[in-house]
Amino acid sequence: MITAERKPLEELLGYIAPYSRILLLGCNECVTVCAAGGRKEVGLLASALKMAARKSGKELQIVEHTLERQCDPEYVEEVASMVAQADAVVSMACGCGVQQMAMRYAKPVFPALNTKFMGGSERQGVWDERCAGCGNCLLGVTGGICPIARCAKRLMNGPCGGSANGVCEITPDVPCAWHLIWERLEELGQTEDYLEIIPAKDWKTAQGGGPRKIIREDLAE
Amino acid sequence: MQKKTKLQSNGSVLVVGGGLGGIRAALDLAEARKDVILVDKAPCIGGLMTQLDRTFPTNNCDLCTVAPFTAKDSRGGHLDMRGLTTVTAVKGKEGNFTVSLMTAPRFVNVEKCTACGECQRKYPECVSFAPGLDPRAPTCMRYPKATPYAYVIDMAKCADKEGLKQCCPVGAIETDALPKVEEAQCGSIILAAGAALFDPSHLDYFGYAAQPDVVTSLEYERILSASGPTGGKLLRPSNGQPPKKVAWIQCVGSRGLQKGAGAYCSSACCMFALKEAMVTRERFDSEIETTIFYMDMRAFGKDYEKYLNRAKEQYGVRLVHSRPHDVLRPVGMDKLQILYTVDEAPKHITEEFDMVVLSTGFKMNEDVKKLAEDLAVELYADGFPKTDCFNAVATSVPGVYVCGTLQGGKDIPETMTQASAASCLAGAKVAVTPRPKAELPAVTPECAGSPRVGVLVTLCDHESTALDTTALVEYAKSIPHVVCAAAFEAACDPSSFDAVKAAILANGVNRVVVAGSSPRYELEKYQAMLAPVGINKYLIEVANIREQAAWVHAGEPAAANAKAKQLVAMAVAGVMAAKPLADHVVPANKNALVVGGGVTGMTAALELAGQGAKVCLVEKTAELGGVARNLVKTIEGGDVQALIADLVEKTTSHPNIKVFTATEIVDHSGQVGLFRTGLSVNGAYKEIEHGATILATGATPNQPQAFLLGENSRVCTQLDLQKVVNEQPKEVKKWKNVVMIQCVGSRDADNPNCSRLCCQSSIKNALAILKENPNARIFVLYRDLRTYGRFEEYYQKARELGVIFVRYSVDNPPKVEAAGHYANVTFTDVIMGRQVVVSADCVGLSTGFVASRKSNEALAKVFGLPLTDDGYFAEMHVKLRPVDMDKAGFFVAGCAHSPKVIAENLTQARAAASRAMTVLANDTLVQEAKFAHVDRARCAACLVCVRACPFDVPQITVDDKGLGRSYIDPVKCHGCGTCAAECPAKAIQLNQFEDVQILSSLDQLLAKVNA
Amino acid sequence: MKSIYEYYAKWIREGKLKVSSDWNKERKVKFTIQDPCQIVRKTFGDPIADDLRYVIGKVVGEENIIEMTPNKSNNYCCGGGGGFLQSGFTEARRAYGKVKFDQIMETGADYCITGCHNCHAQVHDIGHHFGGHYSTVHIWTLICLSLGVLGPNERAYLGDDLKDVNVFHPESEH
């Protein structure tokens, strides 16, 4: 899922300073799971903003709502009347949702979160980056471990000289992805695959080629 | 419906004595659907506890926890309560007693009397109700809200019968009522008539008869008590002035010290003296100096050592180790003078005090002694009944049981335990009597119309000196949607419920706020009251203005009152948002699970099985018997091994008991009456269903690293020592010197409480050694000798036989060093003022017990139960519910509760069985609406609730739309609320604590902020 | 095992011992009573103390008795027993006995009657040491005096006021 973290309150107060009627919009999917932008976080942020406004003597009205998702036009449409009654929208969705809102509505839309990465849970409360969205998945030949998301240098063919004791040289908290790949290949009995050279990556399928689009001919009208 | 066994009769159980023990025994039996006749010779029930101001160790009145349940319409009509009644004759035998009961005339019709007090105002010479003013007449005091709540007339003193009759506005006075004699059939009898207190009048050197400022402990209680002669003000009887220095003298009338004293220890006086001293400083003036003159501080009960430490450290109670010589008031002196000396220096010390309290012990009541003799119950020379060393409630007469102080001096928890144990045994002889349940009016499922809130302020005045309840009631009336608000005094009195119900009906109240004490006490009581007036029992909120305002802010009345008002307003807001939830009635499982196969577990299992329940007895190790397997004899000479063999034989052959050894508990779910527990039987999984659970998992003999234990072969524990003495007498005969050290690994920072059984254990071993080897020199080094009850007599015997007892203090403990063949023990003798070194052949350490922390924690986790700080299982209420646990359907007995001797453990086992039977007696159970539920439309299937739940209840299940969403099984849910708090999608709500209810209360509290 | 006090009392009641307190009717000499620990507190208790008082009452007149406080089984030890007199710890013994001295002095009595030789020696000694005004006399002395059989050589402990009372000269009796 997409993970995100809430921006500092100061920053958000800065965004909404000129406005007195805010629609604070949560999302019930990824950001709920990582406890950043779900219904509960919406409630908590609304309280914090109201208290801050109270303290500075500012008039502030906040309408709280949470959509199932903010990345589909149908869901975003549901809040039309609420947006009409607001001066600005603060979206607690990931960047996708914020932009979907902005595309639809001619009102200022501010992000409440910093969207981080695509990842999964290691355990409750801990998420790590797993996928870089490179557009040409090679997990099948790297034992299910992604060297693009998990190797700091995005190497294709084994660890660099900085890898020591299975740990990346950037920080001891990050395991060396190629070390993990090797161990996995050992576990699967596929160590021969290591000797197959993966050619230089064509980054056009990744962000390097500009914003990407998928069109499914069989689904799109 | 239980089958009647051939031992069971159709009669009732007769309970003689309506004090705390009698009430508990009667209620247990009534709840188990057996008929009970409860008689008391006084006009109202309540006994000694109602005359006490506060009781240890909670230091509060607590009457509200017991008294309301004696209301006539409660307990399904099984309870026949008769005041002014004595037993005049008994014939027959177990299963078929015929008792003659004589009820003296009250001259007042209890049904009609409204206790308006008119007759007492007009004819005070013959109408009694209010407690007597004489602080020295302990028998005339009854608490203000007595049961039955009616007056009593002494017709002999009435000069104008016609006038008296006419003055009653409801015509309740019956001037020509006659004594009634009735016969009743009883299957068994429980004697719970309490004990008398020692009268120190003949002890001229204490000055009790001559000096008004020398009082007994009960008289002091009356002075402190709000219903007493001074209205609860602490004043010197001689001049009505507040005292500045009060002294207590312990052991008056016990431990064979004075003429007419019992040789036993009365077991409760150390604790109640501490309590009186603490209450004096806390409630009256923290500057009053309180001094207790004592011989041994016997704080041996569960957590009592901590109470003693609090008294010393927090309350500054002064303890002087001394037996004062006398209490005098020299001519011309206003104060009393105590002459005493202390261990450290042989000189006279005279100290002045304003009041002296003599801690008088218990003795057998003469009337009761006569009744016991009529019943042919064997008595000791001092008049107390003889009971079996393994069964403290069974007398020499089958079918006649005893409990409470009638059996010997004791504290309230022990009385309650014995009462339940007695009712277990007595009830086994009597069949269940089916009675039709009272018809209740239909409860409207929806709250009809707009909210109409009734606020009931139920706080006793004497609990809340800081609060102005009148002002609170007026404030409550001003809150929107409150249609009626009133104060109901002393809500420990069942008759106040009638007034409450009347107020509710008169005002069309459909939601209730109770402003009283903790929901723990108030909720169940008031919920039971709502059904008969047609209100859904979940439309109620309790504002705890006692603990949270009156008590915690006792010194700041203005703040306390403001807070109380806020709490009430919040409760009103909360109850406005409450939902009328529905309970479900489900068939109940009548089987029991007993965890722990020691002597306690086996006894509990046998009692339950004997009353028709099917029992699973689970034991972790491969064998039954527990720690008792290491014991040979009790101090009285009881054969422990024979007891175990007998219990094992009966348990393994009983058709109603299934024994699982080498078995652990692995999971558990459900609620009372509907439990499901997973066992690992030798590794294989098995699930059982049961309605009640008894924990009898025992404790672990302590093996502290102290005094070379484990390092030197001369040093051993008392448990090891008793084995050596019994099995190697030749070895014992060679011993010259034996040293025993008490309190090793107990009463210290790691294990703050007293292990209770070590003092008697040392003396048992000392006497056994001397029997083998009369020339052995035995030294017992102790801090306080805690030979309570009849153990005291063995202590005296040991002293007579020459055992040397030396007191040591915590900051100067003895030392043990290896010395070749011997172990040298060095200690300081205070009297001689020098060190002594004994070359000991054997050093016996009283190491006591510690909780089996690891296994208790594991079980606590599986079952969801609380533990005390020391790691023992926590009972619901230390005084009044010693074997019940907070979680309904769970009971605890034996050393799993706290360490104690076998007789006490078995009594607790029987008590737990009795309490469990009150659950298992039901065919159906109400499944309360205490669970969390998921709004599946909001659920994001994020797994937070699945991970967070301590009981692994939520599961992601696929609904009919094919969506995976969380589902919480209402039967398994424990209602802890963790999932509701954690859910990031706010998809989970906990019944009775929904967000809207909590937020409404908070909005009310922060109304000024929100505005 | 019995104490002679019991027999004194019995014999006086039965008339076998014909004591009389007439000698003290006019004189009104005042007496206080020591309760010996071994006899009273440790062994027979208040009953024997009561017998002793009965005897003394008959011998000196009840109205001439002033009780110490406390008394009978609760009376303080004088400090002479248990070998203290013979122990050699004279200073300690006297310090211990100060309490008894104060007790006796407080009564204001002229004589302290001691029914035990140890008590007698101690009470006499502390009386002198602390400068008391009382004399110490044994119960048998007074019984004999009141019987009229106390000879001139048996009056070592009587004060001057009683030296010549009822002197018995056997050689001059019939």
At residue B70, the pLDDT reads 54
Residue B143 in this model has a pLDDT that exceeds 70: no
Contacts of B942 in chain A (CB under 8 A): 32-33, 38
Q: CB distance from A35 to chain B under 8 Å?
A: yes
On average, the pLDDT of chain B sits at 88
Angstrom distance (rounded) from CA B238 to CA B660: 67
Matching residue, tokens 């190491």: B847
- What lies within 8 Å, CB to CB, of B475 at 6+ separation is B565, B568
Query: For residue B635, what pLDDT band results from cuts at 50, 70 and 90?
Result: very high
Contacts of C99 in chain B (CB under 8 A): 348
Q: Under a CB-based contact definition with an 8 Å cutoff, are residues B517 and B64 in contact?
A: yes
**In the complex, which subunits touch A with 3 or more CB pairs below 8 angstroms?**
B
Alpha helices for C25-89 (secondary structure H)? 46-60, 84-87
- What lies within 8 Å, CB to CB, of A144 at 6+ separation is A184
Contacts of B987 in chain A (CB under 8 A): 39
Q: Under a CB-based contact definition with an 8 Å cutoff, are residues B656 and B615 in contact?
A: yes
> What's the complex ipTM?
0.85
Q: pLDDT by residue (tens digit) across A132-183? A: 999 999 998 899 999 999 999 999 999 998 888 899 999 989 999 999 999 9
Read off the pLDDT of each residue in B628-632 and give the average, rounded to a whole number: 96
Strand partners, B816: B825
Residue B9 in this model has a pLDDT that exceeds 70: no
Whether B7-103+179-195+364-434 shares its CATH topology with B931-990 is answered no
At residue B5, the pLDDT reads 45
Mutation target to probe the A interface, by most A beta carbons within 10 A, among B936, B939, B942 is B942
- Which is more confident, C40 or B532? C40
Instruction: Identify which of C69, C74, C99 has the shortest CB distance to residue B348.
Output: C99
H or E segment and range at residue C98:
helix C90-107
Read off the pLDDT of each residue in B612-631 and give the average, rounded to a whole number: 96
Angstrom distance (rounded) from CA B664 to CA B659: 12
Domain spans in chain B, listed from the N-terminal domain onward: 7-103+179-195+364-434, 105-178, 197-362, 453-581, 587-694+855-920, 701-850, 931-990
> Please, which residues 37-96 of chain C have a Cβ atom closer than 8 Å to chain B?
45, 69-70, 74, 76
Q: For residue B115, give both structure tokens.
A: 């206790």
Residue B84 in this model has a pLDDT that exceeds 80: yes
Q: Under a CB-based contact definition with an 8 Å cutoff, are residues B182 and B100 in contact?
A: yes
Contacts of A125 in chain B (CB under 8 A): none
Residue B136 in this model has a pLDDT that exceeds 80: no
Tell me B119's DSSP state. H
Instruction: Identify which of C45, C70, C99 has the shortest CB distance to residue B326.
Output: C70
- C47: number of Cβ within 10 Å: 14
Distances (CA, A) of A48 to A8, A13, A55, B1010: 11, 10, 11, 13
Taking domain B197-362, whether its CATH number is 3.50.50.60 is answered by yes
At residue B66, the pLDDT reads 59
Domain spans in chain C, listed from the N-terminal domain onward: 4-150
Q: Which domains does chain A have, with CATH numbers?
A: 2-117 (3.40.50.2300), 132-209 (no CATH)
Residue B6 in this model has a pLDDT that exceeds 70: no
At residue B75, the pLDDT reads 54
Residue C174 in this model has a pLDDT that exceeds 60: no
A64 φ/ψ angles, rounded to the nearest 5 degrees = -105, 135
B678 φ/ψ angles, rounded to the nearest 5 degrees = -95, 130
At residue B76, the pLDDT reads 64
CATH class name, domain B453-581: alpha beta
**First vs last C-alpha separation in chain B:** 60
- What lies within 8 Å, CB to CB, of B111 at 6+ separation is none
Distance from CA of B205 to the nearest CA of C (A): 7
The CATH number corresponding to B587-694+855-920 among 3.50.50.60, 3.40.50.10300, 3.30.450.80, 3.40.50.720 equals 3.50.50.60
At residue B165, the pLDDT reads 85
On average, the pLDDT of chain A sits at 93
Across A50-54, B837-841, C39-43, C162-166, least confident range: C162-166
**In the complex, which subunits touch B with 3 or more CB pairs below 8 angstroms?**
A, C
Contacts of A124 in chain B (CB under 8 A): 943-944, 947-948
- Domain B931-990 is of which CATH architecture? 2-Layer Sandwich (3.30)
Indicate yes or no: CB of B938 within 8 angstroms of CB of A29.
no
| Sheet with B875-877, edge to edge strand ranges | B657-660, B614-618, B591-595, B692-695, B890-892, B881-885, B875-877
Residue B203 in this model has a pLDDT that exceeds 50: yes
How far does CA B33 lie from the centroid of its chain?
A: 23
Instruction: Identify which of A33, A43, A124 has the shortest CB distance to residue B940.
Output: A33
R_g of chain C computed on alpha carbons: 16
The total number of residues shown for chain C amounts to 174
Q: CB distance from A55 to chain B under 8 Å?
A: no
At residue B1, the pLDDT reads 37
Q: Under a CB-based contact definition with an 8 Å cutoff, are residues B997 and B578 in contact?
A: yes
Read off the pLDDT of each residue in B654-665 and give the average, rounded to a whole number: 96
At residue B72, the pLDDT reads 46
At residue B62, the pLDDT reads 64
Matching residue, tokens 């309408």: A63
Query: For residue B462, what pLDDT band results from cuts at 50, 70 and 90?
Result: low
Q: pLDDT by residue (tens digit) across B309-354? A: 999 999 999 999 999 989 999 888 999 999 999 988 778 899 999 9
Contacts of B325 in chain C (CB under 8 A): 70, 74, 76
Residue B190 in this model has a pLDDT that exceeds 60: yes
Tell me the count of B-C CB pairs closer than 8 A: 13
Strand partners, B616: B593, B658
Indicate yes or no: CB of B940 within 8 angstroms of CB of A32.
yes
Indicate yes or no: CB of B983 within 8 angstroms of CB of A40.
yes
Q: CB distance from A43 to chain B under 8 Å?
A: yes
- B180: number of Cβ within 10 Å: 13
The residue type of B116 is: C
Taking domain B7-103+179-195+364-434, whether its CATH number is 3.50.50.60 is answered by yes
Residue B2 in this model has a pLDDT that exceeds 80: no
At residue C158, the pLDDT reads 83
Q: pLDDT by residue (tens digit) across B682-710? A: 889 999 999 999 999 999 999 999 999 99
- Domain B701-850 is of which CATH architecture? 3-Layer(bba) Sandwich (3.50)
Read off the pLDDT of each residue in B836-852 and give the average, rounded to a whole number: 96
Q: pLDDT by residue (tens digit) across C90-139? A: 998 999 899 899 999 999 999 999 988 889 999 999 999 999 889 999 99
Residue B490 in this model has a pLDDT that exceeds 60: no
Query: For residue B134, what pLDDT band results from cuts at 50, 70 and 90?
Result: very low
Angstrom distance (rounded) from CA B107 to CA B43: 11
Contacts of B348 in chain C (CB under 8 A): 99
* DSSP E strand boundaries for B381-538: 400-402, 453-457, 482-487, 511-516
Q: CB distance from B333 to chain C under 8 Å?
A: no
- Which is more confident, B1010 or A108? A108
Matching residue, tokens 């499914």: A216
- Which is more confident, B308 or B59? B308
Distance from CA of A73 to the nearest CA of B (A): 20
Q: pLDDT by residue (tens digit) across B544-600? A: 998 899 888 888 889 999 999 999 999 999 999 998 888 878 788 999 999 999 999
- Which is more confident, A114 or B992? A114
Indicate yes or no: CB of A39 within 8 angstroms of CB of B943.
no
- Domain B105-178 is of which CATH architecture? 2-Layer Sandwich (3.30)
